[in-house]
Amino acid sequence: MTEIAASAERSDEAGQEPISGISVVVPIYNEIENIDLLCKELTAALEPIGKHYEIVFVDDGSIDGSGEALAERARQDEHLRVIRFRRNYGQTAAMKAGLDFASQDAIVTIDGDLQNDPADIAPMLAKLEEGYDLVHGWRRHRQDAMLNRKLPSMIANRLISWSTGFPIHDLGCTLKVMRRELVAEIELYGDMHRFIPLLLFERGARCVEMETHHRPRLHGETKYGIGRTFVVILDLLTVRFFLGNAGHPMMVFGGLGIFSFALSFVATMVTVIMKIWGGVDMTGNPFLLLSVLSALAGFQLLSIGLIGEVLARVYFNQRGRKPYTVRQFLNFEDDPVAAGA
């Protein structure tokens, strides 16, 4: 287990109190075959803890009947709350909605496909009560494909760790336990849910990493492919410059920028090889031009992406806009729709 000393000393103040209740937030997109077992395992993991608990399922516009299945279960079990989106908004928006409407002081986030083991929740909560603000899971023996999932995420984690000074092995692990008062402060847009630990760490949260189990997906398919790695790298750039935000400008301009840099790199290599080994006269050579122009274009595109991000941030913050729209709330005491959500 790696302990990460953030700015505050862990001895004293707020955040040390024992927790009174638990909200488990589960994003669900087309997980119909997993729902029964998921509910069973979550209940079996939460009941013995002996604290008040709720399970907040966020149906992210599923089209396989997951939303209806969750609604049906919620009618029979008052611990279950369901937020149903009008369409698919992505895992981050689902997470954000869950965090927005979770009511207890400890929040657990967990995947809906049973790849995380609900049995890990109890030891993570115990760790939180030792005086941490966030306990994040580390899927040390991750059960996903090597080439398109584990390797890219290993590289992304190294990059993130190196560029932020946050010694984390597995930023992408959804299984986390955190105190609600901190979570309430962070804004999540775009594809940012995986940066929650980093965002909290940068705000001085006391964070600790804990090894958790990870299981292969039994039913359904992963919703992500290798393209996600690029999104993570672009999001990381945004996080580094403007903590707490992500959005689409950086996706568009940043993507083009990175492409231009890559092009420039290749052209530079060709130029160097032609000049040094080939002895070619490079005056007016197209590779030389390409190498210089692409580098300049790359830099400008990235800058535009960053400026776009600032504008997106201003836009979202001003309007107080939520990154999702809700069709239905189930088992919420005060109907959030009536309350103006």
Binding region for Mg ion (CB under 5 A): 113, 115
* Rounded (10°) angle between helices 286-319 and 227-241: 70
Q: Of 4 and 251, which CB lies nearer to ligand UDP in the complex structure?
A: 251
113 forms part of the interface with ligand UDP (CB under 6 A): yes
Q: Of 40 and 219, which CB lies nearer to Mg ion in the complex structure?
A: 219
Phi, psi angle pair for 250, to nearest 5°: -70, -30
27 forms part of the interface with ligand UDP (CB under 6 A): yes
Radius of gyration from C-alpha coordinates of the chain: 22
Half-sphere exposure of 49 (CA within 13 A, CB side): 26
- Please give the size of the binding site for ligand UDP, defined by CB under 6 A: 16
28 forms part of the interface with ligand UDP (CB under 6 A): yes
91, 157, 212, 331: which one binds ligand UDP (CB under 6 A)? 91
300 forms part of the interface with ligand UDP (CB under 6 A): no
Strand locations in 80-175, DSSP E?
80-85, 106-109, 134-138
Q: Of 38 and 200, which CB lies nearer to ligand UDP in the complex structure?
A: 38
Half-sphere exposure of 178 (CA within 13 A, CB side): 28
Q: Which stretch binds ligand UDP (CB under 6 A): 17-25, 28-36, 237-245, 328-336?
A: 28-36
- Which residue type sits at 303? S
CB 243 within 8 A of CB 189: no
23 forms part of the interface with ligand UDP (CB under 6 A): no
Shortest gap between Cβ of 229 and ligand UDP (angstroms)?
12
90 forms part of the interface with ligand UDP (CB under 6 A): yes
222 forms part of the interface with ligand UDP (CB under 6 A): yes
Give every strand in the sheet of 176-179, ordered side by side: 3-4, 207-211, 134-138, 176-179, 106-109, 21-28, 52-59, 80-85, 326-330
Q: Which of residues 123-142 bind ligand UDP (CB under 6 A)?
A: none
Shortest gap between Cβ of 252 and Mg ion (angstroms)?
27
Q: Which stretch binds ligand UDP (CB under 6 A): 68-76, 106-114, 175-183, 328-336?
A: 106-114
3 state DSSP class of 115: coil
Distance CA 27, CA 95 (A): 6
The residue to which tokens 């190498």 are assigned: 291
Q: For the chain, what's the residue count?
A: 341
CB 337 within 8 A of CB 329: yes
Shortest gap between Cβ of 223 and Mg ion (angstroms)?
8
Partner from Mg ion, ligand UDP, none contacting 28, C-beta within 5 to 8 A by type: ligand UDP
Where are the alpha helices (H) located in 166-285, listed in sequence order? 180-183, 196-202, 227-241, 248-249, 255-272
Residue 276 exposed, middle or buried by CB count within 10 Å (0-12, 13-18, 19+): exposed
Q: Of 60 and 113, which CB lies nearer to Mg ion in the complex structure?
A: 113
Q: Of 287 and 329, which CB lies nearer to ligand UDP in the complex structure?
A: 329
Shortest gap between Cβ of 111 and Mg ion (angstroms)?
5
> Which residues are at the interface with ligand UDP (CB under 6 A)?
27-29, 31, 60, 88, 90-91, 94, 111-113, 115, 222-224
